[in-house]
Copies of this chain bind each other. A is one copy, B any other.
Amino acid sequence: MARPRDPQRREELLDAIVGYLAEHGIAQLSLRPLAKALGHSTYVLTHHFAGKDELISAVLAHLDERQRGRVGALPDPGTSGGLGLGDVVRASWAWHLREDLPMVRLLHEIEGLSAAGRLSGPYVPKMLGDRAEFVAGVLRAHGVPEEAALRKATLLNAAYAGLQIDYLTTGDKDRVEAALDELADTADSWTRPQ
C-alpha cells in the first residue's frame, strides 16, 4: 500500500549517536546539539525514538549488542599459542588506551551513572554480567577450575576497570601501569599455577 519502513535507518542513527556521545558524554546530553551534529533537526530523534529517555535506552541496548558481537567474534586466546593471560591483559590495556579512548571514557561514565542508580533498564547490568561470563570462559579454557572461573573473572574485570578509571582520572601512568603489571602477573599465576 505504501512506503515501508527502513529498519537500517535506526541503526545508522544509533552508530552516529554513539560516536557523538563518545566525544560529548551522555550525562549532559541535549537533543538540539546532537541533532545539529548529525546534520538533522531534533525531530529525527523524537521520530525514530519516542523521546530522550527512550533514545538513551536504545543507546544502551545498542552498546550492549555491540559488545556482545565483539566478544563473540574474538578469536579465543586458547591455551595454545604461547600467549599467556597476562599478555592479553596488557595488550587490551594498550589497545583500549591508544585506539578506543573516547569510547572507554563513555563506558566508564555510563557505568558510574548506572552504579549510582541514575540509569534504568537492563542493559548495563547485562553488559557487566556478559563480560564476566566471557572472561570466565577464557579462564576455563586456560584450565581454571569451573567453580573458580566466574569468581576470578569478576575480580579481573573489576580490577581492570578500576585501574582504567584511576588512570583516566589521575593520569598517573607509572603508578597505574605498575599495578596493571601486578594484575597481569596475578592472572598468569591463575593459569600457570606456581
Interface residues of A (CB under 8 A from B): 25, 27-28, 105-106, 108-118, 124-125, 128-129, 132, 150-152, 154-155, 157-166, 168-172, 175-176, 178-179, 181-183, 186
Q: A110-B112, A151-B182, A158-B165 given. 16 additional CB < 8 A pairs? A: A27-B113, A105-B116, A105-B117, A108-B112, A112-B116, A125-B169, A125-B170, A125-B171, A151-B181, A154-B179, A155-B159, A155-B179, A159-B162, A161-B162, A161-B165, A162-B165
A115 CA / B179 CA spacing, docked (Å): 18
B117 and A168 contacting across the interface, CB-CB below 8 Å: yes
A129 and B172 contacting across the interface, CB-CB below 8 Å: yes
> Closest B-chain residue to A161, C-beta based?
B162
A176 CA / B154 CA spacing, docked (Å): 7
B151 and A162 contacting across the interface, CB-CB below 8 Å: no
> Closest B-chain residue to A165, C-beta based?
B115
Interface of A is mostly: helix
Residues of B within 8 A of A171 (CB): 125
Residues of B within 8 A of A161 (CB): 158, 162, 165
Q: In the complex, which of the residues A105, A115, A132, A150 has the most CB atoms of chain B within 10 Å of its own CB atom?
A: A115
Closest-CB distance, A178 to chain B (whole angstroms): 4
A115 and B125 contacting across the interface, CB-CB below 8 Å: no
Q: In the complex, which of the residues A162, A164, A171 has the most CB atoms of chain B within 10 Å of its own CB atom?
A: A162
Residues of B within 8 A of A129 (CB): 170, 172
A168 CA / B170 CA spacing, docked (Å): 23
Residues of B within 8 A of A176 (CB): 154
A169 and B114 contacting across the interface, CB-CB below 8 Å: yes
A118 and B27 contacting across the interface, CB-CB below 8 Å: yes
